[in-house]
């Protein structure tokens, strides 16, 4: 089975806010869907965390390397793409685009072999996983109201991030966390994401260390991106000294970039994004590296339904991955699938058992957010 065509289309019209200093608007495109077509009619779907124009430009380089390739060999084809683009901007939009192609190829492999991707990755340790609801921080009263409404949807784990946290005062930081803990109750899992990969993040190690102490008082499960994302030295120090686990790594791409962070022990929890790092092939190797280095792997999932499906399969195939990120309030997660995501009574999400990624896209919803850009048979 050979690859004959690759198409991409950006999602816009309902892009959720990212909490960025330079805030994204609904019509901005930061997620692009990718479809890989084969000569036997099987189509695989993937997703890339970047703008569609960057994906289109990357595909001009990558697609010729894919045409005629065996559509059932995602890992080898992915390695070929990485190896042939070494000089052309590795780690950036090219790698993000390779991620989408790789996810689509695993989808194809699963569809052809009749197996869910997680089984092809080596086996399913679990059939369901706890999704944690991810949402932006707001001032305490509004955040509290928002958390109550999300809790009513059945979630039992929550992550609040970005917004005013670390950007206003220590007093405001604590008011936000106190309000959140009160809203979700003492039994729920609560995480806090400083979002220090935001532009011009100005806090330093002292703030992070002090804030980690404050978070411990509210039973916070992990403290995410508390430091500027390239500050390896302070991450090493903070992980050693913080009473709460330290999470990070969402901006890193390529497995090689994760090596020093994992080997030297910068994180308690590593959060690679499957739509950025190089896809499922790359992320499972990062997951393995994490495991060997005593770091938990819990995927970053601020992306799309296809990214979430890939995360679920990676979680099924990873020994210690019992949670995935669920971005709340995004039609690109909730609306573009035919069968809506549904939590069970314990707030768990079933991992698809059908072949491939195991989800079907609602093509009308895809068209609504991409325009008529996919030329499907
Ligand atoms: Mg984050």
Ligand 1 centroid, distance to 327 Cα (angstroms): 11
Q: Please write the tens of the pLDDT for every residue from 144-154.
A: 999 999 999 99
Ligand 1 centroid, distance to 58 Cα (angstroms): 25
Interhelix angle for 232-241 vs 255-264, to 10°?
Answer: 40
Sheet holding 3-11, edge to edge: 3-11, 31-38, 43-48
Q: Please write the tens of the pLDDT for every residue from 226-259.
A: 999 999 999 999 999 999 999 999 999 999 999 9
Ligand 1 centroid, distance to 366 Cα (angstroms): 26
Ligand 1 centroid, distance to 224 Cα (angstroms): 6
Q: Please write the tens of the pLDDT for every residue from 60-104.
A: 999 999 999 999 999 999 999 999 999 998 999 999 999 999 999
Ligand 1 centroid, distance to 215 Cα (angstroms): 16
Banded model confidence at residue 111, pLDDT cuts 50, 70, 90: very high
Residues with CB under 5 A from ligand 1 (ion): 193
Question: What gap in Å lies between CA 187 and CA 6, rounded to an integer?
Answer: 46
Ligand 1 centroid, distance to 319 Cα (angstroms): 22
Ligand 1 centroid, distance to 193 Cα (angstroms): 6
Give just the sign of the alpha carbon dihedral 341, 28, 149, 134. positive
Interhelix angle for 74-84 vs 93-113, to 10°?
Answer: 160
**What average pLDDT score do residues 150-170 get?**
96
Ligand 1 centroid, distance to 134 Cα (angstroms): 9
- Is the per-residue pLDDT at 53 higher than 90? yes
Ligand 1 centroid, distance to 118 Cα (angstroms): 24
43-48 and 128-136 strand pairing: unpaired
Whole-model pTM?
Answer: 0.97
**What average pLDDT score do residues 160-165 get?**
94
pLDDT at 353: 97
Banded model confidence at residue 182, pLDDT cuts 50, 70, 90: very high
pLDDT at 377: 85
Ligand 1 centroid, distance to 228 Cα (angstroms): 12
Banded model confidence at residue 21, pLDDT cuts 50, 70, 90: confident
pLDDT at 13: 97
**What average pLDDT score do residues 215-230 get?**
98
pLDDT at 130: 98
Ligand 1 centroid, distance to 107 Cα (angstroms): 26
CA atoms within 13 A on the CB side of 130: 15
Ligand 1 centroid, distance to 225 Cα (angstroms): 6
Ligand 1 centroid, distance to 160 Cα (angstroms): 9
Average pLDDT, the chain: 97
Ligand 1 centroid, distance to 83 Cα (angstroms): 29
């Amino acid at each position: 089975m050979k690859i004959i065509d690759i198409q991409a289309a950006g999602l816009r019209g309902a892009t959720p806010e990212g909490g960025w200093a330079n805030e994204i608007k609904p019509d901005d495109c930061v997620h692009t869907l990718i479809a890989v077509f084969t000569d036997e009619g099987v189509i695989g779907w993937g997703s890339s965390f970047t703008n569609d124009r960057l994906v289109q430009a990357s595909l001009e380089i990558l697609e010729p390397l894919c045409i005629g390739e065996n559509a059932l060999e995602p890992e080898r084809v992915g390695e070929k793409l990485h190896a042939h683009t070494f000089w052309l901007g590795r780690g950036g939009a090219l790698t993000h685009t390779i991620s989408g192609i790789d996810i689509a190829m695993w989808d194809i492999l699963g569809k052809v072999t009749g197996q869910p991707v997680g089984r092809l990755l080596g086996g399913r340790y679990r059939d369901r996983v706890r999704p944690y609801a991810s949402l932006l921080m707001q001032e305490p009263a509004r955040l509290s109201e928002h958390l109550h409404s999300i809790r009513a949807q059945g979630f039992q784990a929550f992550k609040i991030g970005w917004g005013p946290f670390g950007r206003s005062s220590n007093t405001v930081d604590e008011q936000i966390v106190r309000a959140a803990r009160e809203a979700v109750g003492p039994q729920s899992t609560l995480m806090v994401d400083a979002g220090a990969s935001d532009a011009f993040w100005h806090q330093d190690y002292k703030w992070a260390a002090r804030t980690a102490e404050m978070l411990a008082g509210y039973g916070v499960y992990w403290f995410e991106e508390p430091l500027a994302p390239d500050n390896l030295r302070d991450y090493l120090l903070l992980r050693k000294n913080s009473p709460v686990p330290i999470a990070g790594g969402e901006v890193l791409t390529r497995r090689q970039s994760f090596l020093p962070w994992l080997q030297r022990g910068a994180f308690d929890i590593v959060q690679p994004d499957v739509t950025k790092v190089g896809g499922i092939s790359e992320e499972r190797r990062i997951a393995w590296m994490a495991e060997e280095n005593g770091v938990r792997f819990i995927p970053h999932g601020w992306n799309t339904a296809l990214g979430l499906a890939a995360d679920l399969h990676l979680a099924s195939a990873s020994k210690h991955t019992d949670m995935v990120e669920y971005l709340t309030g995004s039609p690109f997660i909730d609306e573009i699938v035919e069968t809506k995501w549904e939590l069970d009574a314990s707030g768990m999400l079933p991992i698809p058992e059908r072949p491939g990624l195991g989800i079907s896209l609602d093509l009308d919803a895809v068209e609504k957010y991409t325009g008529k850009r996919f030329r499907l048979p």
